[in-house]
């Protein structure tokens, strides 16, 4: 990627990752130090997984918050954002064919293969490189190169023709989609008695918001039978790799699935090894090496002797560590905390006492107010907050809106007076308009128990305008919760460009709660920003944003985000029992009573 020198060049995270990937490819070709290569791999992986803008972190001197971002790499990022170029990267790439870099995204083509192809066919133009390789392959020229063969040529052509990119380039599944696929596979596998256990690993087990491909571990005493059983799964579209311990397929839906078999005695070792993340595994291996130990999917080698483990607890215990929950295997300080047995007790679904962001058919929900309340009781909730989208003052007028509120308030009071199983609160989800004002007047807002203020339009505003828009809601005395603050829709809409440091500082100053929205295509606030905000002591509301009785069950996905953000129940306001919640929530409402 060619960039002209320019002062303060703002680049998106994806652009930074591309620049680092090209530098990494050049390092691999030129045989750079393995530790430097690993550092770049870790940094790229971290940058691709965070919501925080690398540019923002750089501006605030917080690049060290990115896992794997050492002093040397920080200096390169500083040079990149300051001048628009990194001289060391340019020197690394200077004598390499420019056409090699687009090839690295092709399935099965790494840096060295890309270099060989680009050098052999004199690929100097990145924009035409893939087409030129396709043409060379169709003419049988690739298989004639040293180290290539007919099958390799066929694989490259197939990958190009079907646009099969590496898992880092493939569209990622929402966690709910990945869960559904994994559940069907696990149910199918467990039909056979020789499958003693089966588990989804990788990003799904870490409860990431999106999942690239699926990794399945199987404990069995009959590995060949287990693999053949898996390969007969009705949804398999293509077998892409077959071996005695691992096989890979692409489902008819396009999802790649890898299965790995293990004897029961080593199952815990395999589960740990393939749960990740990459940064966590690197730190764990480094920690083990310092103790003279070697880790693998088969166990822990101590003085040349392998110790196998049937479960993860025994694996971590052998290392002198507390068991680390999969959600926080992130390459932060989890190993240090596990060593001192000071890992946080992460919030759990069973801790939730209520849900404060719920819609009915009074706005865009499916079910009635009464049906949602009954569903809340069935969930065992002690309180439920009805927060429909607010009626429009512009189209209905103030007095009609006040009449609607009075009617709904009466229904809420009747429900609360008729039973003591659940306390119902009456709020609205109020739009933060493009100019930063709220869609309801203060006179109307004062009639509510609480207010969730959210952005639903004009997501492409400049950073300053978007930030000021959120800050206006944060400073409003009658706003209780800031709903889905980044505005992202996963795989559909990027997060808004927000100065998160200013937003979090204002939320802390004005004692505002931030929502973790559990809708699978939102999961907003994202987990890395949750982690950052929690450091300030900010409190969170994990909510389902349910639009039906069934979608109250989505709360689990918000809990996943909270856990990945390292939250304990003390940071989540709706873990409080009813009596404590009422008192605590009044402080966030600037209201003397409910």
Q: Which of 149, 54, 210 is nearest to 557 (CA)?
A: 210
Residue 37 to residues 28, 43, 71, 165: CA-CA distances in angstroms? 7, 10, 15, 22
CA–CA distance, 264 with 310 (Å, rounded to integer): 6
Q: What is the pLDDT of residue 43?
A: 84
Please give the CATH architecture assigned to the domain spanning 13-93: Orthogonal Bundle (1.10)
Is 543 in a helix, a strand, or coil? strand
Averaged in consecutive runs of 10 residues, what is the pLDDT profile of the chain (594 residues)?
A: 54 88 90 82 80 83 82 90 91 90 84 92 91 92 89 85 54 92 97 97 96 96 96 94 92 93 97 92 92 95 94 96 97 95 98 97 93 97 96 84 92 94 96 95 93 96 95 96 96 92 96 97 96 96 97 98 98 95 74 50
CA–CA distance, 430 with 404 (Å, rounded to integer): 15
Any idea of the CA torsion for 110, 116, 122, 125, to the nearest 10 degrees?
Answer: 10
Tokens of 99: 């056409």
- 522 touches 491 (CB < 8 A): no
Burial class (CB in 10 A: 0-12, 13-18, 19+), 112: middle
CA–CA distance, 543 with 549 (Å, rounded to integer): 14
| Positions of E strands within 308-373 | 354-358
CA–CA distance, 35 with 471 (Å, rounded to integer): 43
CA–CA distance, 7 with 259 (Å, rounded to integer): 49
Asked if the 267-339 domain carries CATH number 3.30.210.10, the reply is yes
Q: What is the pLDDT of residue 7?
A: 56
Q: What is the pLDDT of residue 591?
A: 53
Rg of the chain's alpha carbons, rounded to an integer?
Answer: 27
Report the topology of domain 349-589: TIM Barrel (3.20.20)
Q: What is the pLDDT of residue 394?
A: 78
Q: Which of 317, 278, 211, 325 is nearest to 567 (CA)?
A: 325
* CATH value of 173-262 in 3.10.20.30, 3.40.50.2000, 3.30.460.10, 3.30.9.10: 3.30.460.10
Is the four-CA dihedral 223, 228, 229, 235 of positive or negative sign?
A: positive
Is 253 in a helix, a strand, or coil? coil
102: DSSP letter: G
- 114 touches 44 (CB < 8 A): no
Q: Which of 279, 307, 301 is nearest to 288 (CA)?
A: 301
Q: What is the residue extent of each domain of the chain?
A: 13-93, 98-161, 173-262, 267-339, 349-589
Is 385 in a helix, a strand, or coil? strand
374: DSSP letter: H
Provide CATH code, domain 98-161. Answer: 1.10.150.20
Q: Which of 440, 439, 474 is nearest to 457 (CA)?
A: 439
- 547 touches 365 (CB < 8 A): yes
CA–CA distance, 33 with 19 (Å, rounded to integer): 19
Residue 341 to residues 51, 270, 276, 337, 345: CA-CA distances in angstroms? 29, 23, 20, 6, 11
- 409 touches 448 (CB < 8 A): no
Q: What is the pLDDT of residue 532?
A: 94
432: DSSP letter: B
- Is the fold of 13-93 the same as that of 98-161? yes
Q: What is the pLDDT of residue 5?
A: 41
For residue 251, give the H/E element and its range: strand 246-251
- 142 touches 488 (CB < 8 A): no
CA–CA distance, 297 with 272 (Å, rounded to integer): 8
Tokens of 316: 């971590």
Question: Whose structure tokens read 């200096």?
Answer: 75
CA angle 582, 585, 588 (to 5 degrees): 160
Q: What is the pLDDT of residue 337?
A: 97
- 289 touches 319 (CB < 8 A): no
Task: Give 140-194 as a DSSP string.
Answer: T-STTSTT--HHHHHHHHHHHHTT-B-TTTSPPEEHHHHHHHHHHHHHHHTTSTT
Q: What is the pLDDT of residue 345?
A: 98
């Amino acid at each position: 990627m060619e960039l002209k020198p320019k002062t303060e060049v703002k680049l998106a995270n994806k652009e930074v990752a591309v620049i680092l990937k090209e530098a990494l490819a050049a390092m691999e070709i030129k045989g750079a130090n393995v530790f430097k290569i690993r550092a770049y791999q870790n940094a790229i992986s971290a940058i691709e997984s965070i919501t925080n803008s690398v540019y923002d972190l750089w501006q605030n001197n917080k690049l060290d918050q990115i896992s794997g971002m050492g002093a040397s790499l920080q200096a390169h990022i500083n040079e990149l954002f300051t001048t628009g170029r990194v001289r060391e990267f340019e020197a690394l790439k200077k004598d390499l064919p420019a056409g090699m870099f687009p090839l690295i995204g092709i399935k099965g083509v790494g840096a060295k293969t890309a270099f060989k192809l680009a050098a052999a066919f004199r690929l100097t133009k990145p924009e035409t490189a893939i087409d030129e390789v396709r043409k060379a392959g169709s003419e049988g020229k690739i298989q004639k190169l040293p180290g290539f063969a007919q099958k390799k040529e066929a694989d490259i052509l197939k990958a190009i023709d079907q646009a099969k990119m590496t898992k880092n380039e493939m569209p990622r599944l929402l966690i709910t989609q990945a869960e559904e696929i994994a559940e069907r596979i696990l149910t199918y596998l467990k039909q056979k008695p020789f499958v003693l256990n089966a588990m989804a690993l990788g990003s799904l087990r870490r409860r990431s918001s999106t999942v690239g491909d699926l990794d399945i571990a199987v404990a069995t005493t009959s590995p060949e039978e287990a693999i053949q059983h898996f390969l007969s799964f009705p949804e398999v579209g293509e077998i892409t790799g077959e071996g005695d311990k691992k096989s890979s397929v692409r489902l008819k839906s396009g999802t790649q699935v890898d299965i790995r078999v293990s004897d029961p005695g080593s199952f815990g070792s395999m589960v740990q090894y393939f749960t990740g993340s990459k940064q966590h595994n690197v730190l764990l291996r480094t920690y083990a090496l310092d103790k003279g130990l070697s880790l693998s999917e088969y166990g822990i080698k101590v003085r040349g002797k392998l110790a196998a483990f049937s479960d993860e607890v025994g694996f971590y215990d052998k290392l002198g560590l507390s068991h680390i929950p999969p959600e926080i295997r992130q390459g932060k300080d989890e190993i240090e905390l596990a060593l001192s047995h000071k890992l946080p007790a992460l919030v759990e679904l069973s801790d939730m006492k209520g849900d404060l962001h719920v819609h009915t058919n009074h706005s865009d929900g499916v079910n009635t107010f009464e049906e949602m309340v009954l569903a809340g009781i069935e969930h065992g909730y002690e309180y439920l907050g009805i927060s429909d989208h607010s009626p429009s003052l512009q189209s209905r007028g103030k007095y009609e809106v006040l009449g609607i509120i009075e009617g709904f308030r009466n229904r809420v009071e009747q429900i609360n007076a008729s039973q003591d199983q659940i306390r119902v609160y009456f709020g609205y989800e109020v739009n933060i308009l493009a100019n930063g004002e709220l869609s309801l007047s203060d006179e109307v807002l004062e009639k509510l128990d609480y207010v969730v203020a959210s952005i639903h339009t004009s997501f492409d505003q400049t950073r300053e305008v978007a930030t000021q828009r959120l800050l206006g809601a944060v400073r409003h005395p009658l706003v209780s919760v800031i709903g889905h603050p980044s505005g992202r829709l996963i795989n559909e809409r990027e997060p808004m460009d927000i100065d998160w440091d200013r937003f979090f500082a204002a939320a802390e100053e004005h004692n505002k709660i931030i929502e973790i929205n559990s809708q699978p295509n939102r999961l907003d606030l994202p987990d890395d920003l949750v982690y950052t905000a929690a450091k300030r002591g900010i409190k969170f509301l994990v909510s389902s944003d349910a639009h039906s009785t069934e979608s109250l069950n989505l709360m689990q996905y918000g809990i996943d985000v909270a856990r990945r953000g390292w939250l304990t129940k003390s940071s989540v306001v709706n873990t409080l029992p009813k009596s404590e919640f009422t008192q605590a929530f009044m402080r966030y409402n600037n209201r003397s009573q409910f």
